[in-house]
Structure 1
Amino acid sequence: MANSVKRTPLYKQIEMYIYDHMRNNNWEEHHKLPSETELAEQFNVSRLTVKNAMQNLIDKGLIYRIQGKGSFISDQKGEPLLYESGPAEAKEKLIAYIVPLAKTMHALQMINGIEEQLTKQGYRLLLFKTYNSKEVEKQVLQEAIRYNVAGIIIYPVEGETYSEEILKLSLSSFPLVIVDRYLRGIETNCVYASNTKGAYDAVSHLLQSGHKKIGFVSTQINGTSSIEDRLAGYELALAEHNAPIEHRLRRTHFHLDQVNNIISTGSIEASVKHELQEFIGQNPDMTAIFAVNSPLGITVMEAASDMGIRVPEQLSVCFFDDFMFSDYSRIPPTCVDQQAYLIGQAAAKLIAAVIEDPNQERRKIEIPTILKVRSSTALCETKMNCAEC
């Protein structure tokens, strides 16, 4: 009697073929695999056999599928990545909101706008925080998927020019809305403030008050469209008012974590204050400063005060984003209000619409800003070195 030979099932042969290419580094992370048709022809099997093999690899987290694009090698080493949007009825009525921090008035107003609008439309909100870490953002995106959410609203980490996780979701037509900014090169639904116009209005206010030498202070610019657009608004206002655009009047490399120390601990980072004092001291003809956010704006005002420079008599200061009880601060600030509640409300409406029709045309919604003129800005004529204006 002949010895029976146990043959490897055909679908297992396909699995081993793909696994061997991965193990030998022939196919690296995010390499696109041959199509099911190509594999079926190569192994002389049916597409169903190939489909079973591919599904097993997905379940093991070795590959992931992007609807309409194909299958790819995963980098998750065991964590399945399958971003396919199913019908809304098949999912929980849950929406994930992913945000760097939730401590500022801006962040809290946006959360309220999202939550209240989603409640009206029959959804519940799951909140995730990334602490402005790209790695944490990647993890919570995957966690949100495991919760079987119907859609995701995300406030990306600062400096993010490209996110593979967001790209995968977007390409698979998963219901996704980005708030606060847009990601260049990635077609997504997004809702954000009129950053260029907001900065333009603030700097125009300073120029109309007689200032010509206006500083620009920001965190790192590259990769964050909202900051890039605020710089564009600053330059546009200067150009239209025939004021010089001088790079010496910029400080644009501050690290967000250092700047946000005032939010997390209530105290100003000493190194940031010291550098701003050097910046002010090196440019005595600078009569006004525009900052891209409230932590930087507050730090500028404190830095000037410690130097004996009076705001607004000797230095006018305005910035993006209001803060809690600002009207009652020692010097109520002139600031650009992003209308964060309206951004959140619009994002909630948009994600609900996308859930109903994931294949609809991607939309960018821009919410107008409001310039609130208070006591931190004044006419240049009231300043000591008026001849320099």
Structure 2
Amino acid sequence: MEHPLYKQIQNDIRGRIRSGELQAGALVPSEKELAQQYGVSQITSKNALNGLVEEGLLVRFRGKGTFVREHGSQEGPEHGADTKRTIAIILPTMKTKIDQQLLDGLERYCADRGYDLLFRITRESPEEESTAIEQFRKRGVDGFIIFPVEQESYNTAILRLSLDQVPLVLVDRFLKEIKTYSVSSDNYGGVREAVSGLLAAGHTRIAYLSPEITNSVTDDRAKGFEAAFMEQGLPIDKTLWCMLDLETIGEGRGQQEIERFLRVRSDVTAVFAVNAELARYAYNAIREIWQGTGSAPLLAAFDDPDLEGIPYVHQRLDDVCRIAVDLLSEQLSGTYEPRREVVPVQWTDTMIPRP
């Protein structure tokens, strides 16, 4: 089985160092030169060099280039090749398949780079999130990958990490006011494409189910819904929006509220839920309200609700995890160029019946 391209580049550089072709202190080909030599993107060649810097084999000097580390040199990253990095992964829940896939992918890509992991579930508690961050900082972890809890503002502990330039990657969220590293799916584009598909099939009375807008994800998904209507020159009826507060969802009253909402809107022909949890609540509510009538609205969702026949927006979670670890590795190697990475999604184009 062939190694990934960045690993092939790394293996070749290691071989050139072992053979003496690249001696201690020698300048290593640049990202651009390696990209041209191997016929890869500069992102791939950059990842290759970053990995070797992390190992302690190479050292990078800003404005000068990347060099073979001299034996005993103290320049460059703080950790040598024999010291493992320790990464803290903080997730809000493990309730859904999405959560499980994220943890699996992050663990796998961290293991590929030889990182030790510390892991904490905050159970959607801002206090637990703050405590976890502070405890991990005291333990001296080298970097953080955080999927923040849903709340109206970002935790001050996260803001402090960013301001202190501690290696940090936010997953599925981004800070609008402060530059930091983040990776998320294309929440705006995914909802826009899905709702455009529903509109194209003749569904104009579409109920929208979402947690209250408290972060970049719920904001982007709501804007994607609005964009689909505006592009068709259609009015946006906010009376068809069911925005559930976080307390209602946390107390397990989500399905009850969705059922109450839909009972007085029996003319809707489609329901779009912004996550799998709300989609399952809506599915049960629709069965309760419209059972046996033959006029139940179509249900669609962001993320696979694990329900047969439900069209949904598919996230490329493996890519999200890979990019998150790549962004963290970049920071651990001494580079700090904060940015937001957005991963494309796919709207499952199953046949959508017309109303």
What is the DSSP-based 3-state SS (H/G/I as helix, E as strand, rest coil) of the residue aligned with 1:148? coil
The aligned amino acid for 1:275 is: E
Aligned residue for 1:50? none
**Match runs of 1:325-344 below 5 Å:** 326=306, 329=307, 331-344=308-321
| Alignment of 1:179 onto 2:165 | no
| Alignment of 1:378 onto 2:319 | no
Aligned residue for 2:125? 133
Aligned residue for 1:367? 343
CA deviation after TM superposition for structure 1 residue 140, in Å: 0.1
Residues 280-302 of structure 1, C-alpha deviations (whole Å, 9 max, x = no match): 22223211111111111111111
What is the DSSP-based 3-state SS (H/G/I as helix, E as strand, rest coil) of the residue aligned with 2:219? helix
Is the Cα–Cα contact under 8 Å of residues 84 and 114 in structure 2 kept in the other structure? no
Change (3 A) 1:93 1:247: same
What is the DSSP-based 3-state SS (H/G/I as helix, E as strand, rest coil) of the residue aligned with 2:290? coil
What is the DSSP-based 3-state SS (H/G/I as helix, E as strand, rest coil) of the residue aligned with 1:126? strand
What is the DSSP-based 3-state SS (H/G/I as helix, E as strand, rest coil) of the residue aligned with 2:136? helix
Change (3 A) 1:304 1:177: same
1: CA distance, partners of 2:292 / 2:163: 53
1: CA distance, partners of 2:176 / 2:249: 25
2: CA distance, partners of 1:294 / 1:311: 25
Change (3 A) 1:132 1:114: same
Change (3 A) 1:364 1:144: same
> What stretches of structure 1 of length at least 5 have no aligned partner?
1-85, 262-268, 381-389
Aligned residue for 2:138? 146
CA deviation after TM superposition for structure 1 residue 374, in Å: 4.6
Change (3 A) 1:231 1:352: same
CA deviation after TM superposition for structure 1 residue 273, in Å: 2.6
What is the DSSP-based 3-state SS (H/G/I as helix, E as strand, rest coil) of the residue aligned with 1:286? coil
Is the Cα–Cα contact under 8 Å of residues 161 and 168 in structure 2 kept in the other structure? yes
Aligned residue for 2:73? none
Aligned residue for 1:231? 222
Is the Cα–Cα contact under 8 Å of residues 92 and 148 in structure 1 kept in the other structure? no
1: CA distance, partners of 2:242 / 2:265: 12
Calculate the aligned-residue CA RMSD, in Å. Answer: 2.2
Q: Identity across aligned pairs (percent)?
A: 30
Change (3 A) 1:91 1:137: farther
2: CA distance, partners of 1:335 / 1:88: 44
What is the DSSP-based 3-state SS (H/G/I as helix, E as strand, rest coil) of the residue aligned with 1:152? strand
Residues 135-160 of structure 1, C-alpha deviations (whole Å, 9 max, x = no match): 10000001111222110000001024
2: CA distance, partners of 1:106 / 1:351: 21
Is the Cα–Cα contact under 8 Å of residues 102 and 318 in structure 2 kept in the other structure? yes
Is the Cα–Cα contact under 8 Å of residues 313 and 378 in structure 1 kept in the other structure? no
2: CA distance, partners of 1:118 / 1:155: 16
What is the DSSP-based 3-state SS (H/G/I as helix, E as strand, rest coil) of the residue aligned with 1:379? coil
Of 201, 206, 231 in structure 1, the residue corresponding to residue 198 of structure 2 is 206
Q: Which has the larger radius of gyration?
A: 1
What is the DSSP-based 3-state SS (H/G/I as helix, E as strand, rest coil) of the residue aligned with 2:260? helix
Of 270, 280, 288 in structure 1, the residue corresponding to residue 262 of structure 2 is 280
2: CA distance, partners of 1:209 / 1:310: 23
Residues 59-83 of structure 1, C-alpha deviations (whole Å, 9 max, x = no match): xxxxxxxxxxxxxxxxxxxxxxxxx
1: CA distance, partners of 2:172 / 2:208: 20
Change (3 A) 1:108 1:352: same
**Match runs of 1:69-148 below 5 Å:** 87-89=78-80, 92-148=84-140
2: CA distance, partners of 1:115 / 1:218: 29
> What stretches of structure 2 of length at least 5 have no aligned partner?
1-76
The aligned amino acid for 2:327 is: L
2: CA distance, partners of 1:313 / 1:282: 15
Is the Cα–Cα contact under 8 Å of residues 339 and 369 in structure 1 kept in the other structure? yes
Change (3 A) 1:159 1:91: farther
Is the Cα–Cα contact under 8 Å of residues 115 and 124 in structure 1 kept in the other structure? no
2: CA distance, partners of 1:350 / 1:149: 16
2: CA distance, partners of 1:219 / 1:190: 22
Is the Cα–Cα contact under 8 Å of residues 286 and 296 in structure 2 kept in the other structure? no
Aligned residue for 1:245? 236
Change (3 A) 1:181 1:279: same
- Tell me the number of residue pairs that the alignment of Structure 1 and Structure 2 aligns: 278
2: CA distance, partners of 1:156 / 1:238: 30
2: CA distance, partners of 1:230 / 1:99: 21
Instruction: Please say which of residues 88-97 and 118-127 is displaced more in the overlay.
Output: 88-97
Name the TM-score, length of structure 2 as normaliser. Answer: 0.73
What is the DSSP-based 3-state SS (H/G/I as helix, E as strand, rest coil) of the residue aligned with 1:101? coil
2: CA distance, partners of 1:167 / 1:332: 42
